[in-house]
Structure 1
Amino acid sequence: MTDHVLLEAGDDLVRQLSHEREAVKAVLELVWNALDADALQVGVTIERSAIDGVEKIVVHDDGDGFTPEVARNAFRRVGNSEKREGGTTPRLKRPLHGKAGRGRLRAFALGDTTRWTSTARALDGQLMLTTVESGFGSRTTWSIDARPAPDTADCGTTVELWGKQSTHLNRLLEPKAVSQITAALAPYLLTWTDVRVTYDGALINPRDQVQDEEWSEDLTFEYEGQPQSFQIRLIHWRTGSERMIALCDAAASPVETIDATAEHSDFTYTAYVLWSPMPRHRNEVPLITLGGETPLAPLLTTARAWISSRLEDRRRRQRRRVVDRWIDEGVYPYPARAEGSQAQAEQATFDLVATSINRHITGDRMKKRLTLSLLQNSLRHNPDQMVEILEKVLRMSGDDVSHLHGLLQQTSLSSIIRASSIVTARLQFLTVLEHLVFDEETYGLVGERDHLHKILERELWVFGEEYNMMRSSEIGLTRMLEHHRRAIGWDPTPDGPVYQLSGRRGRVDLMLSANSTEHDRVRHLVIELKAPDVDADRDQANQLDDYMQTVLNDPRFANIDTTWDFYLVVRNIKDRLKPQLRQAGQPEGLYSQPTSYEHAKVRVWVRTWSEILREAKQRLEFVKSGIEHNPSLEQALDYLRSRHGDLIPDQLRHAPPLPQPRPDGAHDAAV
């Protein structure tokens, strides 16, 4: 006998519940239906089309099935399921999952046509075969056919779904689908070990996938002044990329899931939050982001804090073991005990970053040492590009890249380390440069073009940090014109060569340019280097004066928003030139500054290496002092102490005591 049952729900609700993007969730609903029917064997079969797409899905179980009377009642309503909250199955007394009566409607996410075939024993003991069918075009109408089943038939239910052409169904064929189903069923299958669920021919066995398990802990949260108790259980997975918070009822049956992909990306885990009233708060997760009044907000805050604490403990233990192993292998690039707070902070940051990508640091001893040395060098000198470098060298996944970015953003130590390393290296360079220029045994051997020029074109910060980027080296006056016009945004192509007033073609050693913040001017610095054994005289100064006259008298250089400084850089200045460089009312070292030209500001200077080195050192010492007293350093160290105290050196684990004022109001001198 065939009946037609009209669903007591609008088509829009059915459409919402059968959203095609929820294919994995729809399969899970059918599996839970089978388990709620006391099934011990549940199999999900996926039949493929000729082009390897999903053609048909079949879910079969050996549960108790349903009778025609149950079908007529169940397929008529949405909600108010007969499965009571906190109830158990009739025969095996296992916890019930379904409580909203919506699982059968989610089947439309898997097929345009659905057929349920169930064999069950009626109250009078007779076996009945019940078939329920519906199509996507008539989703609110179900045809129910009932007839006696053979006495030899076994109880159970088969759900068949086909006829849907959607690329979203192909997600069922991805490895991630197995991970999601394993995570959702894990607490149930770990508890009810006699239950077997197969998916696309493979057994769902969470025990094989569990890497480590944090057993449940009793916690409380407060809502509207009342304490609420719940449990939480954390499972780490061996494979996959799942990071999920499952909101469950008291029996660990998921009601809702929250994607935690952006949280703790160095672990693969599922956290099960068990709370008896959870089914009554289904679909309330979106309200949290809107500030809605729901107990899930304080519940999740408490749960996330617990998860972070547990994962941080695990992370610390793993990191410490990794660093100890690197030390034992002789591949660790730092000494056992760093000296100085900045060095210690750098080492702690290195440990933090290196251990977070430990699984990519593989190979023999030599390869590990090279990789760790690369990481150390990148952290010191170029942390902004360190992630990009490691991504290419180690072929890190997107999750690892995001995690590494997050680590460097959480602490300002990377920028402090880089600044400190740059300052230290530059101070060392100035010491070497001073030795080359002034040491009596070496300065006579240092050439202008072979040595000074080649060295300084890589260290242009010596002349000012603003000139560290835009530069041209060893260029003629025509190229100097091109560079100038390009800097001010004009067509750089010259209409002919540039000559000095004498008719000769000149050539400058270095031309540096920068955009000045003063009146939006472009500032050019033209440098003429002389070997240390050449003292400045009028002949050398006049060479730059000729360049200056070229700029002033060639209209192609004209631009009122440009400042030109010509530097003659020497070791010593001859006495007969010194008076002209020390005129009243003029800066020391200024050789010439014509005032009769309005289209450009042009100056010629004679500078000694002593002056340039002194100014460069003063700038670096100022930066170094700022780093050492930068409150960001102490804040970053506080972050490391609180989050990674097991990794940082012993002397950094405790913050130094603040200086105490003396009774007379003075303070003790710094040690």
Structure 2
Amino acid sequence: MKNKATINNSSIESAGIPKDYKESIAEYIWNGFDANATTVEVNFNYNDINSIEEIVISDNGYGIEFRNLDKTFGFFLDSLKRQSFQRSSYIKGKKGKGRYSFSTFANKAVWNTAYLKDEVILEYDIVIRKENKDVFEDINHVKSKRTHTGTNVILSGIYELDASHFYDDKFSNFLADEFGWFLFLNRDLGYDLKINGISVNYEHLIADNEKKEILIKDGNSDDHSFFITYIRWENRIGDKYYYYFLNDGKRECAKRLTSFNNNAIDFHHSVYIESSFFNNFEAENNISEIEDSLFFKNQNHPVFKTLITRLNGYLNSKQKEYVKGIGADELILKFEKHQVFPKFSNNKYDQDRKKDLVNVIKELYTVQPKIFKGLKEEQERTFVGFLNLLLDTDERENILGIIESITHLTTEEREELTDVLKRTSLSKITKTIKLLENRFKTVELLKILVYTLKKFTTEREHIQKIIEENYWLFGEQYHLVSSDQNFQVMLNNYLYLIDGIEDKKEIKDYDWKRRPDIFACRKRNIPDVMEDSSMLEENILVELKRPTVTLSKKEFRQVDDYLDFILKQDGFNSQKRIWKFYLVSNKVDDYILKQYEAFKDKGKRFLVQQAGRYEIFAMTWDDLFLTFEIKHQYLLDKLTFDKTSIQDILKSKGIQIESNEITSEIINLKE
């Protein structure tokens, strides 16, 4: 029997029928699932030249009851499914256009459908031809021999398509994108979609998933159970992200936008909530089907309100988990690829600074991803460079105020960010650790020189060069004036550093060519014991002896001669300048020990002479090293550097245990 639709053929053509064959096939597949099918199969046969004779989309749904035929095929832009399942997101055929989608690539469509009536399966065919789409014919009404209901949509007269269109990965990937969420949600019920007997694989679309149960008490009644299925998709699925509320039959009753639709990050997610609580949900009257959220009379129910609060908290934790992990890592990789980061050297200190910057960026991105979205590469470089500059100063906590001027932060986000900036304050810490670690290495290498290799170590070629770069051993406060230079150079350098005097002073004394090993000074406020309101200036001079030399009266007299010479010079002899002289070697003799005893009442260890504004100290290398370790013991204990591995480290770098090589290694250590 021929039947006429409520619209003519030309109107159907202009009504927005899918033009892409993939979308057309998807319409028929959705029709099957809409009819409660658990399995839908797409089968096609082709000949030797790859031409397709027909395409069959089969399902095991409830079929098309003949008594409803005029309500389904008879009405265009309307259907029985729309009336029955208004609130279901996956009722794709609710507008009634899908039945005509074959006409873009086939001449005829036949629905061979079997349905149950009075416990008997009946069967008949519905035929629509491309040239007369507004006419549908029902024929071949028989009692079916099938054992179950279902519909086979047979498309024939295929044109512009061949077998390659269906074996192409684009087709299977399209179906996976379109149906993956639905198949995953219903996987426990055995739902399946097949192409020529092979199930469509959608697992690669799911980046993460989790199932959990939420219990909520309704007054004095029993707890309501809500079974949550969270899915994070590898790529975007659909244009918005929803909570989907399903009854205990897994049919969607309503949906609601999640709170992460405008976060501008690739957090592609869906949350499905199944519960008998939704069995009796009722739709509000006059709700438009094009609204983003489908509301219902029960939305003000206390249990539902509690559920939404719990869901928001849960999804917020999943979003932060994603952003802090994968999302932040991807952002850093992008910045590396596009050379957004400032240039950092390969030394450990610079790499620690970079690590600090990366950590802060990750934490900022976790707290508020929008900060980094929508920026052009040049803007990214400017922003990241600006962050890097602030992190190297005492102003790092001002970052919070800057971020708040860019985007609104909630109280919770502000607290998190404040904690981040305090918790990741690494630049000063790592700089200090780097300095101490290198100083520790210097001391260990010096020990090798003055103990293990003492026979091969000299004052000027080894020890003097090292101390020149590391005079902090005698005090953090000093500035190096001269190293292994004569008194003429020493005086001019000294006057320029202390007083800014550039005029060169001439020394006519016959001793002007003598060369102290190290001369350092410091212009600092030292209380003058003679005058309460007056301050003094402090200078040190170090005389280094090779490790095989024992400090004796001879070495003491040498330093005492330096002292006499300095005090004779007009440019050195102000009464406001105090002087400290250090003698250093491996051992001291009895004369030096007696000098210790003679001046012990002054309360200064290693003192061997004191007169007016000058002091002379005699120390062993062991004294110097131990003093350093005592001063820094607490921080040294925090370091991971293994003192016993120093020689292994040198060998691994191809450095032989030899005085010249060790000297170079120490000099090359950078603070």
Q: TM-score range by the shorter chain?
A: 0.3 to 0.5
When Rg is computed on C-alpha atoms for both structures, the one with the higher figure is: 2
User: How high is the TM-score relative to the length of structure 1?
Assistant: 0.41
